[in-house]
A and B are shown apart, each in its own frame.
Chain A
Amino acid sequence: MLKQTVSLAAASLLMLGAAQAQAASGGRDYISIVGSSTVYPFSTAVAEQFGKTTAFKTPKIESTGSGGGFKLFCAGSGVDTPDISNASRRIKKSEVENCEKNGVKEIVEIKVGYDGIVLANSKKADQLKLSRKDLYLALAKEVPNPDDPTKFVANPYKTWKEVNAELPDIKIEMLGPPPTSGTRDAFIEMVMEPGCSEFDSIKALEKNDKDKHKATCQTIREDGAYIDAGENDNLIVQKLEANPKAVGIFGFSFLDQNVDKLQGSVIEGSAPVFDSIASGDYKVSRPLFIYVKKAHAGVIPGINEFLAEFTSEAAWGEEGYLAEKGLIPAPKAERKENAQTAKDLKALVLE
């Protein structure tokens, strides 16, 4: 027994040594991708197709969130850093500066398509027809006092009917992503802020007290009407099914996969269906990006070919396999422009 133990220990030490030697000398022969969990399902689909139809290895994709992705991406240039970062928002100026500081000079930005954020409830209940103003009133922590709009009070609305007399008389119960989620940021930016701008008293705040304006427009109520349902959207779908009174917030692909159980709420007169999101009638949608390190193209095998696959019509076109996965294709002209950027590896210049 003991001899075995000793030989095991020796073998493991040897292997460790060998491993380090290899790691130090060898490059990487697969593409490494990090970033947004929203882009992850699309990026992985392209990676799989790419791996199976070309002689290159399948890229490795980590779901780290957009911010976490940029942190890894901008850590430096070299084979031990990622080649591509997925993002559900545009790269920030501070992130570009951080990249440059660490030697990542040229970044290629490709807009791959759009993602719709939907509100949905169970098919057992009635479909909701909401405006962004309704949603702001239903979800904000502080709202203008209904009697005196210049004063702000803690959100008094308990039912949808109180928010807007045309809505059904059911309790407000919203299941949505936690504050760390990019989906929630996008929801606040695209629903809450336009909703709150419809009040003159809040508009006035914007000029006088910027912090107060931000807090009023961006803070979601914490009295139990909005429930953090975690990052797992499948869980929200299950909860909506069990509780027909609740409304959930999540990405379009989850609504698309569950059309037999859920219905999307109409927002500002347009329902979250593929065509209306693609045409821009449905307001709550955001662009999705991938960022590529130009210096890695040619060093890591397959980057150009991977971008070609991603930007091909068979992938991101109207009938492509990404649309099947729930990606909303960009308009044709935008696709053409971005495909050209990907082909030329034109570096991003921020104004």
Chain B
Amino acid sequence: MNPELSTSTTAQVLRSLPKRYGKERRFRLLGLCAIVLTMLFLIVLLGTIFLKGWTAFQQTHIRLDVYFDPVRLDVKNLTNANYGALVRDSMQRMFPDVEGRSNRLQLNRLMSSGAAFALQDMVISSPEIIGTTRSLWLPADDEVDMLIKGHTPRDVPEAMRRLSDQQLVWIHTLVEDGRLEKQFNGAFFRNGDSREPELAGVRGAIMGSFYTLMVTLMLSFPIGVAAAVYLEEFAPKNTFTDLIEVNINNLAAIPSIIFGLLGLAVFLNFFGLPRSSSIVGGLVLTLMTLPTIIIASRASLKAVPPSIREAALGIGASKMQMILHHVLPLALPGMLTGTIIGMAQALGETAPLLMIGMVAFIVDVPQGMQDPATVLPVQIYLWADSPERGFIERTSAAIMVLLTVLLIMNATAVYLRNRFERRW
């Protein structure tokens, strides 16, 4: 090559350099923009959820001096006693000059209907308190709660509020006396669903999600791993196994409601398992997560270097020993990660559960896999559709609970991977 030409090539390259650097800078900038934009969306989303939802972790309570009147509480028939009357008597003693039926009705509406249930539980668990007076913090009605938290306005004409002027005066008096304050909302974590926002909790949904996911995990993990091991290590490579592979990949992309329809036809109509129970939910979600687990497990089996297999076989291990003693332990972290991601997906699923009756109002916290149950995302959906304003903040709070559970599951996946992963 003659030197002149080479210098002209260098010159050409030198000339094009700024342009190429510029291109790279723009490319990097675009990538950065994408990240910033996604972060921004995430912050806005989480921010609104948090801002709307954090107030739900507090609940307005009113301190009542309750006299457990022996006249009203018949020791022989404590379940059917009129506990609402105890609450009304206490309110009446606090505001003795309230007269007339409609005024008293308005006064009593300040308290939640849950106050009477709380008294009922107290008396039944320890009947010796009958005849004494106790000072108790009892939940206030959701309208009072919304007013105190500032979700409903005070300074508008009476017709535009759900609380009357008189009720506002009483609330003011209660605040002045230190008888009304916001406290930690333990009921939100203790109770099942309720139609009263102040009594509604996520316990039932959390337990439902727990049982459902247990069934899913217990079934999908062993089946998924076994299927992956067979397909990867034993199955011959022919058209039939190719067909199976294509089908597994397709199943992973099928809309989840199809699995719900299948569950309705097979588990409910054919096997006659109880409708709305977490066992059926778990079975349906197993079908849904199996492809995910099989694909992840096969990928992690493929990632085990062939040298490990050859070494094991070379020193005389049988194929089964090779798989059980060497390949599986090395592939397990990847399989677990895949499983947990599949579980996280199952945790957020509502569509297939609609078909098998798990989208339902269930108050009692499920005690086992047979009991009717609902799951966290369904609870969020049901609350989002409720007219009472108190449910708006509770919806966001339930989303926060769901996100926390997801975060814990994903953190476990990362931890397991780091703990057991072998690099070579």
> Which of A11-41 touch B at CB < 8 Å?
11-12, 15-16, 19-20, 22-24, 28, 30, 32, 37, 40-41
Interface residue B210 (Cβ < 8 Å from any Cβ of A): no
Whether, in the assembled complex, A281 has its beta carbon less than 8 Å from a beta carbon of chain B, the answer is no
Query: In the complex the two chains form, is B160's CB within 8 Å of A80's CB?
Result: no
Chain A CB within 10 A, most for which of B160, B196, B328: B160
Tell whether, in the assembled complex, residue B387 and residue A15 are in contact, meaning their CB atoms are under 8 Å apart.
no
* Known interface pairs A61-B360, A62-B276, A325-B195; A8-B387 also in contact (CB < 8 Å): no
CB distance from A155 to the nearest CB of B (A): 31
**Are B160 and A57 neighbours in the complex by a CB distance under 8 Å?**
no
Tell me whether A9 and B222 are in contact (CB under 8 A): yes
Name the CB-closest residue of B to A32: B275
Is A254 interfacial (CB 8 A cutoff)? yes
List, in ascending order, chain A residues with CB within 8 A of B370's CB.
19, 22-23
**Contact string against A for B residues 196-235, beta-carbon threshold 8 Å, 1 for contact and 0 otherwise:** 1000000000000000000100110111010000000000
Check A98 for interface membership: any CB of B closer than 8 A. Answer: no
Contacts A48-B195, A257-B388, A260-B160 hold; do A30 and B372 have CB atoms under 8 A apart?
yes
By the criterion CB–CB under 8 Å, are B364 and A41 in contact? no
How far apart are the CA atoms of A145 and B179 in the complex, in Å? 66
In the complex, what's the smallest C-beta–C-beta distance from B379 to chain A, in angstroms? Answer: 13
* B-contact 0/1 string along A231-246, CB 8 Å cutoff: 1111000000000000
* Contact residues, B346-364 vs A (CB, 8 A): 357, 359-364
Which of B79, B195, B215, B329 is in CB contact (< 8 Å) with A1?
A: B329
Task: Write the A48-62 contact mask toward B (1 if CB under 8 angstroms, else 0).
Answer: 110111010110111
User: Is A2 among interface residues, defined by CB-CB distance under 8 A?
Assistant: yes
Pair B361/A61 contact, Cβ less than 8 Å: yes
A341 at the interface (CB under 8 A from B): no
State the Cβ distance, B258 to closest chain A Cβ, in Å. 18
CA distance A53 to B324 in the complex (A): 57
List of A residues within 8 angstroms of B382 by Cβ: 63
Would you call B221 and A8 a contact (CB within 8 A)? yes
In terms of DSSP, what is the predominant structure of the interface of chain A?
Answer: helix
**Which range contains the number of A residues in contact with the other chain?**
35 or more
Q: Which residues of A contact B71 (CB under 8 A)?
A: none
Tell me whether B37 is interfacial, beta carbon within 8 Å: no
The answer to whether B363 and A58 touch across the interface, beta carbons within 8 angstroms, is yes
Q: Output the nearest chain A residue to B109 by Cβ-Cβ distance.
A: A324
> A127 within 8 Å of B by Cβ?
no
Q: Is the CB of A259 within 8 A of B222?
A: no
Query: How near does chain A come to B111, taking the closest CB pair, in angstroms?
Result: 13
B contact residues around A253 at 8 Å (CB):
387
CB neighbours of B85 from chain A (8 A): none
| Shortest distance between the CB of A130 and any CB in chain B (Å) | 21
A159–B392 Cα distance when bound, in Å, is 34
Are B225's CB and A5's CB within 8 A? Answer: yes
Tell whether, in the assembled complex, residue B272 and residue A2 are in contact, meaning their CB atoms are under 8 Å apart.
no
Max chain A CB contacts within 10 Å: which of B273, B274, B360, B386? B360
Measured between beta carbons, the chain B residues less than 8 angstroms from A234 are 384-387, 392
Contact of A41 among B194, B359, B360, B386 (CB under 8 A): B386
Question: Known contacts A57-B364, A58-B363: does B218 contact A8 (CB below 8 Å)?
Answer: yes
Assess the A233–B385 pair: CB atoms within 8 A: yes
A24-B272 contact, Cβ under 8 Å, with A58-B364, A233-B385, A260-B161: yes
A45 interface hit (Cβ, 8 Å): yes
Flag the segment in B20-28, B126-134, B151-159, B304-312 that touches A.
Answer: B151-159
Establish whether residues A9 and B195, one from each chain, have CB atoms under 8 Å apart when the complex forms: no
**Docked complex Cα distance between A9 and B372 (Å):** 24
Cβ of A47 < 8 Å from any Cβ of B? yes
If A47-B363, A256-B387, A257-B387 are given as contacts, then 4 extra A-B residue pairs at C-beta distance below 8 Å, sorted by A number, are: A1-B329, A40-B361, A45-B195, A232-B384
B residues contacting A by CB (< 8 A) are 79-80, 105, 113, 117, 152-153, 156, 159-162, 194-196, 215, 218-219, 221-223, 225, 271-276, 279, 324, 328-329, 332, 357, 359-364, 369-370, 372, 382, 384-389, 392
